[in-house]
Amino acid sequence: MNSTSLDLHATLDFAESLARQAGAVLRQYFEQAREADHKRAMIDLVTQADRQSEALIVRELQAAFPDHFIHGEEGGGYGPDRATTPFHWHVDPLDGTTNFAHRLPHFAVCLALSDPNLRPLLGVVYDPMREETFKGIRGEGATLNGRRLRVSDIDDLARALVSTGFAYDSWTNPDNNSDHVANFVVRTQGVRRIGAAALDLCYVAAGRSEVYWERGPHPWDVQAGILFVEEAGGRISDFSGQPSEEAYSGRRILASNGLLHDQAVAVLTLGDKAPRPTPAPAP
């Protein structure tokens, strides 16, 4: 493919094909006996499925786009000097490795193409266990299995379902998200920790939940989902409500349906001093 005049539709089709091929690899490994290795911490796992999935994706991306830079979760960077190319791929071959290693069928393959400033241009998130494909192109919307994604219209945090995750240093870092979870638990209909950041973002875009926040993901976890949320009418920021590099890199990301964004920012910044819902009177 000629990336000097990149056809985003053809590139998205190619990325979806790769995600589906990688998803088939994950399905093959899912029920097999396997050992998980530790990366940076006891709770930061990697499996042979991660490695094989990434090898497949990177091999095909390098063949098709030799002048693109590839950020891979397991292998690091691939391709030319990242400062010389306007196109950056972000590859998570298995988002939700801990789920996968424990045979919890909630994980995905994630590919996104961005500019050098982490502005996603297109993305694919493929859930091989549910056969759900989220994909989109900036300015042209995002879809789930061909249906247009749209965020929910809930405008009261007390009626919202929210999701989050925990960084791999949560055993040792006092900034481990437990205080934010406690503050959201008493201000929402429910808090979920499902274990795959990419799918958390997809679910906000699809109107399945209203808010997602987390400290610690990487660009390969969030770039595709960020695009979907924005294309579905939602909002992305850091914890203070700003569309900063912290947000688009995933270091401190808050995603919402837009209507609840300021309320969620208040919880993240004010903590226990944030407004609480008024309980309904007893019947």
Contacts of 216 (CB under 8 A, 6+ apart): 165, 166, 167, 168, 169, 250, 251
Tell me what pLDDT residue 41 has: 42
Residue 108, exposed/middle/buried by CB under 10 A (0-12, 13-18, 19+)?
buried
Domains and CATH numbers, the chain: 3-148 (3.30.540.10), 157-270 (3.40.190.80)
Residue in 132, 45, 138, 130 with CA at minimum distance from that of residue 95 = 45
Residue in 71, 16, 74 with CA at minimum distance from that of residue 49 = 74
State pLDDT tens for residues 41-78. Answer: 443 345 788 889 999 999 999 999 999 999 987 667 88
Helices (H), 138-270: 178-185, 197-205, 219-231, 245-249, 261-270
State pLDDT tens for residues 124-181. Answer: 999 999 999 999 999 999 999 999 999 999 999 999 999 999 976 767 777 789 999 9
Compute CA distances 23 → 132, 220, 246, whole Å.
11, 16, 29
> With left for phi above 0 and alpha for psi between -120 and 50, is residue 192 left, alpha or beta?
beta
State pLDDT tens for residues 211-266. Answer: 999 998 999 999 999 999 999 999 999 999 999 999 999 999 999 999 999 999 99
Q: Quick one: DSSP state of residue 59?
A: H
Interaxial angle between packed helices 219-231 and 197-205, expressed in degrees from 0 to 180 and rounded to the nearest 10: 0
Beta strands in 115-262 (DSSP E): 120-127, 132-137, 142-144, 147-148, 161-164, 190-192, 211-215, 235-237, 252-256
Tokens 């801990």: give the residue: 98
CA angle 219, 220, 225 (to 5 degrees): 85
Query: What b/e string do you get for 236-259 counting C-beta neighbours within 10 Å, with b at 16 or more?
Result: bbbbebeebebbbbbbbbbbbbbb
Q: Which contiguous run of DSSP H or E holds residue 37?
A: strand 37-38
State the CB neighbour count (10 A cutoff) for residue 210: 31
Do residues 75 and 90 touch, judged by C-beta distance below 8 A? no
Q: How confident is the model at residue 2 (pLDDT cuts 50, 70, 90)?
A: very low
